[in-house]
């Protein structure tokens, strides 16, 4: 079937659905719950992303490209941009949502053994109280405490 024949079939089905009053003659599911519009990346946007990768804040990138940061991050990975740059970038800009490293774990153990309050520990490590509690539980569970 050629493209022209396929388009003709679609046009006939649309005309039939209007004339008959039955909305979905093709039997395709309608997604009325979402009005998301796919935005394709243009070449200029890709070049801009390469230049700004790891140099701009999350908010600046979202404003510049008009997309969520997750979409921007996935496009960066698709373009082959370094994932580690993003990890450093996210630690610098996200603060308490950063991943744990060895020195954080050592400090957590020391502060906890000194009897410091969990909220003080969280403030010193730039983490949330929940993150500290979860990390303590995780370390104890796997015998690394």
Residues 77 and 134 in one domain: no
Residues 48 and 90 in one domain: yes
Question: CA 28, CA 9: separation in Å to the nearest integer?
Answer: 14
Residues 107 and 82 in one domain: no
Residues 81 and 133 in one domain: no
Percentage above 70 pLDDT, the chain = 74
Tokens matching residue 39:
């935005």
Give the total number of structural domains in the chain. Answer: 2
User: pLDDT per residue over 32-74, tens digit each?
Assistant: 555 666 778 999 999 999 998 878 877 888 899 998 888 898 8
93 within 8 A of 87, measured Cβ to Cβ:
no
Tokens matching residue 66:
């008009």
Q: Is 2 domain-assigned?
A: no
Which pLDDT does position 7 carry in this prediction? 87
Q: Which pLDDT band, with edges at 50, 70 and 90, does 14 fall under?
A: confident
Residues 109 and 71 in one domain: no
Residues 11 and 63 in one domain: yes
Which pLDDT does position 65 carry in this prediction? 92
User: In which domain, by residue range, is 116 found?
Assistant: 100-141
DSSP states along 48-66: HHHHHTTTS-HHHHHHHHT
């Amino acid at each position: 079937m050629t493209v022209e024949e396929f388009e003709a079939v679609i046009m006939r089905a649309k005309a039939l659905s209007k004339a008959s009053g039955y909305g979905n003659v093709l039997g395709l599911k309608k997604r009325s719950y979402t009005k998301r519009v796919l935005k394709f990346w243009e070449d200029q946007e890709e070049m801009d992303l390469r230049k700004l990768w790891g140099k701009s804040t999350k908010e600046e990138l979202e404003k510049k490209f008009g997309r969520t940061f997750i979409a921007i991050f996935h496009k960066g990975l698709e373009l082959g941009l370094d994932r580690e740059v993003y990890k450093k970038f996210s630690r610098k800009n996200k603060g308490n949502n950063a991943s744990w490293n060895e020195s954080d774990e050592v400090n957590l153990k020391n502060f906890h053994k000194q009897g410091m309050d969990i909220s003080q520990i969280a403030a010193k490590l730039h983490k949330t109280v929940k993150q500290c509690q979860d990390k303590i539980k995780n370390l104890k569970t796997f015998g690394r405490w």
